[in-house]
């Protein structure tokens, strides 16, 4: 059985590699703020529908980088497997500071398993296609720790890949630390810190992001008698 001490050591090593590595700052560094609010509804025991509105500030949190809404349908296949399909619609700001439509469709599968009574891990594979027909693959390992019924900690990592004539190549990576606190029945707030790194481009960048989110889980509807 994996001990909590070993998990803490692993998380510390991951944090050190991402945060203290000289390459973490790239050629230029940005600081941003991501805020979001979501609402979810269990349609059945295994089917869930959710909507999330998100706004992202970049350029040292001085301008709106993007604003969009995600619509996600997820289905639980077993205690370990879950499938997702999502649609993203909104606006994003270009390098010329103009706003342009933002759209994206994605499908993904997640495998989650328990390590101890309070510790679990997951791996998620995602395929997305943007409005300009750009394809991206994402690999998303995560580690979850349940402190209590009302408090949880999560470490998310994410790796981005795009297809080319030579095969898939990595375009970036992301590391996120998140604390999720239950404030009332079916209501949660989350606070986090994220490091977002660009890779294999002529002008690599790194973004440090503060995250805030509010989540509301609607009460499951009872079927008619």
Sequence spans of domains, the chain: 4-218
What does DSSP say about strands 151-164 and 167-184: parallel, antiparallel, or unpaired?
antiparallel
Residues contacting residue 2 through CB under 8 Å, at least 6 positions apart = 115, 116, 119
Digit-coded pLDDT (tens) for 59-110:
899 999 999 999 999 999 999 999 999 999 999 988 777 889 999 999 999 9
pLDDT score for 125: 97
pLDDT score for 147: 93
- Alpha-carbon gap, residue 111 to 116, rounded angstroms: 16
Q: Are 54 and 35 in contact (CB under 8 A)?
A: yes
Question: How far is residue 75 CA from its own chain's centroid?
Answer: 18
- Paired tokens of 76: 């639980």
On whether the 4-218 domain is CATH 2.40.160, my answer is yes
Digit-coded pLDDT (tens) for 29-72:
899 999 999 999 999 889 999 999 999 999 899 999 999 999 99
- Alpha-carbon gap, residue 198 to 172, rounded angstroms: 4
**Nearest C-alpha neighbor of 18 from the set 124, 175, 126, 131:** 175
Match 């009460």 to its residue by tokens: 219
**Nearest C-alpha neighbor of 138 from the set 92, 167, 106:** 106
What does DSSP say about strands 28-42 and 81-93: parallel, antiparallel, or unpaired?
unpaired
For 131-204, where are the E strands, in sequence order? 135-146, 151-164, 167-184, 187-198
Q: What kind and span of H or E run contains 26?
A: none
Q: Are 31 and 25 in contact (CB under 8 A)?
A: no
Whole-structure pTM value: 0.84
pLDDT score for 5: 59
């Amino acid at each position: 059985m994996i001990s909590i001490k070993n998990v803490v050591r692993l998380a510390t090593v991951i944090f050190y590699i991402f945060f203290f590595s000289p390459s973490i700052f790239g050629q230029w560094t940005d600081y941003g703020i991501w805020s979001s609010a979501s609402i979810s509804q269990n349609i059945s025991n295994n089917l869930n529908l959710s909507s999330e509105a998100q706004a992202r500030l970049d350029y040292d949190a001085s301008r709106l980088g993007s604003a969009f809404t995600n619509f996600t349908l997820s289905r639980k296949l077993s205690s370990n497997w879950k499938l997702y399909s999502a649609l993203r619609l909104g606006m994003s700001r270009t390098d010329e500071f103009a706003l342009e439509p933002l759209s994206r469709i994605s499908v993904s599968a997640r495998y989650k398993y328990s390590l101890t009574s309070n510790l679990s891990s997951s791996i998620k594979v995602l395929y997305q296609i943007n409005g300009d027909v750009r394809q991206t693959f994402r690999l998303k390992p995560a580690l979850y720790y349940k402190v209590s019924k009302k408090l949880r900690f999560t470490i998310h990592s994410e790796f981005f890949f795009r297809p080319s004539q030579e095969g898939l190549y990595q375009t970036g990576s992301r590391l996120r630390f998140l604390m999720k606190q239950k404030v009332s029945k079916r209501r949660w707030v989350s606070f986090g810190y994220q490091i977002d790194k660009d890779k294999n481009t002529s002008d690599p960048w790194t973004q440090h992001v503060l995250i805030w989110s509010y989540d509301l889980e609607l009460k499951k509807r009872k079927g008619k008698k």
